[in-house]
Amino acid sequence: VVCSMSRKGNCWDNACVESFFGSLKNEWTKGRIYESYEDGKNDVFNYIEMFYNRKRRHASLGYVSPAVYEEMHEMKQGRAA
């Protein structure tokens, strides 16, 4: 695996990551002040694991949460078997 980043200010190469960080900043960390690096790190972890990956609705998934999408997928797989 090779890390790759485009030049500063070029969001087109990293559109998915730019979108994620925009959501993180606007929905979660905007206006928050953390007492320590660890506090900020834990809060971002909670955003990703408890909200973004489980509850937040995603346009790419038909505006359902990843958890609901996964349940729908498992139900379809169960019917097909």
* 4 inside domain: no
- Domain total in the chain: 1
Looking at residues 24-40, what average pLDDT do you find? 91
What is the per-residue DSSP string for the chain?
A: -------TT-GGGGHHHHHHHHHHIIIIITT---SSHHHHHHHHHHIIIIIITTTS-BGGGTSB-HHHHHHHHHHHHHHH-
* 5 inside domain: no
pLDDT tens digit string along 46-60? 988 888 777 788 888
pLDDT greater at residue 64 or residue 11 = 64
Look up the pTM and report it.
0.57
Residue 14 DSSP code:
G
pLDDT at 3: 61
* 7 inside domain: no
Number of CB atoms found within 10 A of residue 22's CB: 11
